[in-house]
């Protein structure tokens, strides 16, 4: 095991060589580590977020104990296209329908991808993205240990979803994940991801992850990711969505767990006719603190975008929402919208919302809004006057608050899972 304070560039180089990583990846890690060394931690005083102690929270990040691959015997395999499970950063189980493997689909952990398909990774890993770089992103780029890779070949339309499970069983281990999803031209795919851990009430553990979701020309991608880590986790996740010509990405990020942390969710409509909708649900309780930095970048004409982020906060939870729509001078006839809406369920819950626009052409249709309000007691009283209990009335209002975000999943098993998780988080169900 190795602590962060004792790590050197030589340690990184030796580990990369032992993992047979290509030269471009070793150089990328080295550059990121050097940037990490000179980048100061964020000053979050104005945002009321707690200070970060990397040396004490980022420990035991290289778990050398490899686990055996276990075939997934899930009886529901017929309803999914594939499934990968990572436990404490190690591959635990992997399933992929044989017919999809025959068609050229690749599903594996990132360690295997680096060894066997580095040629597919390099164009995406080395591409410059429109995301804010800070000390956490540099640390993640330097030290990521594992993750997942999903590749959908040209022209293949996959109907059943892929399932991803990332589990932290040992709270003493920090997790560093690097994930990549690529849908080649005229292909389509659905992905459901869960990141979870038990509430250990142990020392704070840092979890860093970066996920790139790339839709090539005329591809379609739908993703749902649920973060439900324990309160001991300080979670920093980055999700990057890139849409090429006439492609479509619809992503829903659901943040339920982790004691504190930051989400960076960035979409880029790279070519003409691209559409990106990335949306989010945030539910906070107790002393949770969360910062969400969301953005849409329109770099070509006739692109469409939508960001809708909603949150419910109770107890002493706090959230800071920082949203931005950016349109270059090439983004003529862009249509895009940003909405931030948070409801406070207690007098001590707090939220700050900061929507912004950066527009470099006049031929666009752009809108943004933000609203932070308290729970509507009149609506609660009205429902209770119709015979509902207070708990049932609150659950109905919560479901209605998120209904537009949950509607695309109404006919799937994910809908029941999401509503039950939200109700449980807010103590609206047993």
Same domain flag for 269 and 383: yes
Same domain flag for 413 and 380: no
**Chain segment 199-221, per-residue pLDDT in tens:** 666 677 888 999 999 999 999 99
User: pLDDT at position 1, please?
Assistant: 41
Residue 337 CB burial class (10 angstroms; 0-12, 13-18, ≥19): middle
Total domains in the fold of the chain: 2
Tokens of 65: 């104990």
Same domain flag for 352 and 420: no
Same domain flag for 377 and 412: no
pLDDT confidence tier of residue 75, bands split at 50, 70 and 90: very low
User: pLDDT at position 113, please?
Assistant: 97
Tokens of 82: 């594939």
Same domain flag for 96 and 206: yes
**Chain segment 244-301, per-residue pLDDT in tens:** 999 999 999 999 999 888 999 999 999 999 999 999 999 999 989 999 999 999 999 9
Q: What is the DSSP string of 145-186?
A: -B-EEEEE-TT-B--SPEEEEEEE--TTS-EEEEEEEEE-TT
**Chain segment 318-355, per-residue pLDDT in tens:** 999 999 999 999 999 999 999 999 999 888 999 999 99
Give the structural domain span for 419: 389-430
Same domain flag for 351 and 274: yes
pLDDT confidence tier of residue 417, bands split at 50, 70 and 90: confident
d(Cα 179, Cα 110) in Å, to the nearest integer? 7
**Where is average pLDDT lowest: 105-114, 221-230, 374-383?**
374-383
| Closest CA relative to residue 2, chosen from 143, 120, 117, 186 | 143
d(Cα 425, Cα 430) in Å, to the nearest integer? 10
Same domain flag for 324 and 414: no
Same domain flag for 89 and 214: yes
Same domain flag for 135 and 204: yes
Same domain flag for 396 and 334: no
Same domain flag for 340 and 361: yes
Tokens of 414: 């994910």
| Closest CA relative to residue 304, chosen from 341, 275, 263, 283 | 275
Same domain flag for 256 and 376: yes
Residue 425 reports pLDDT greater than 90: no
Q: Are strands 90-96 and 82-87 parallel, antiparallel or unpaired?
A: antiparallel
User: pLDDT at position 381, please?
Assistant: 72
**Chain segment 118-167, per-residue pLDDT in tens:** 999 999 998 887 777 888 889 899 999 999 999 999 999 999 999 999 99
């Amino acid at each position: 095991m190795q602590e962060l304070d004792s790590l050197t560039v030589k340690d990184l180089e030796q580990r990369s060589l032992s993992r047979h990583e290509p030269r471009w990846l070793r150089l990328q890690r080295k550059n990121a580590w050097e940037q990490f060394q000179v980048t100061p931690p964020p000053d979050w005083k104005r945002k009321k977020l707690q200070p970060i102690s990397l040396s004490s929270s980022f420990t035991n990040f290289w778990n050398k104990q490899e686990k055996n691959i276990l075939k997934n015997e899930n009886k529901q395999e017929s309803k999914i296209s594939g499934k990968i499970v990572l436990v404490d950063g190690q591959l635990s189980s992997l399933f992929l329908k044989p017919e999809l493997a025959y068609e050229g689909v690749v599903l594996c952990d990132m360690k295997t991808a680096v060894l066997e398909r580095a040629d597919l990774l390099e164009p995406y890993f080395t591409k410059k993205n429109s995301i804010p770089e800070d000390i956490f992103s540099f640390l993640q780029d330097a030290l990521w240990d594992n993750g997942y890779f999903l590749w959908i070949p040209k022209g293949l339309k996959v109907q059943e979803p892929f399932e991803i499970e990332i589990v932290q069983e040992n709270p003493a281990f920090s997790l560093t994940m690097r994930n990549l999803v690529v849908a080649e031209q005229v292909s389509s795919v659905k992905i459901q991801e869960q990141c979870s851990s038990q509430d250990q009430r142990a020392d704070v553990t840092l979890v860093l992850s970066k996920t790139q979701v790339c839709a090539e020309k005329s591809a379609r991608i739908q993703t749902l990711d649920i973060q439900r880590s324990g309160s001991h986790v300080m979670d920093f996740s980055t999700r990057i969505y890139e849409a090429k010509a006439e492609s479509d990405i619809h992503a829903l990020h659901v943040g339920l767990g982790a004691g504190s942390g930051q989400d960076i969710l960035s979409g880029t409509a790279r070519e003409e006719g691209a559409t990106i909708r990335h949306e989010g649900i945030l539910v906070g309780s107790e002393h949770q603190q969360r910062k969400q930095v969301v953005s849409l970048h329109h770099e070509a004409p006739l692109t469409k975008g939508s960001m809708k982020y909603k949150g419910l906060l109770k107890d002493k939870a706090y959230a800071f929402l920082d949203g931005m729509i950016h349109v270059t001078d090439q983004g003529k006839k862009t249509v895009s919208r940003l909405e931030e809406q948070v409801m406070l369920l207690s007098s001590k819950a707090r939220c700050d919302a900061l929507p912004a626009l950066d527009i470099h052409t006049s031929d666009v249709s752009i809108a943004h809004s933000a609203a932070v309000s308290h729970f509507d007691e009149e609506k609660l009283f009205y429902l209770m006057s119709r015979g509902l209990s207070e708990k049932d009335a609150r659950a109905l209002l919560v479901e209605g608050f998120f209904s537009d975000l949950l509607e695309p999943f109404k006919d799937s098993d994910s809908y029941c899972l999401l509503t039950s998780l939200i109700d449980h988080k807010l103590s609206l169900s047993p």
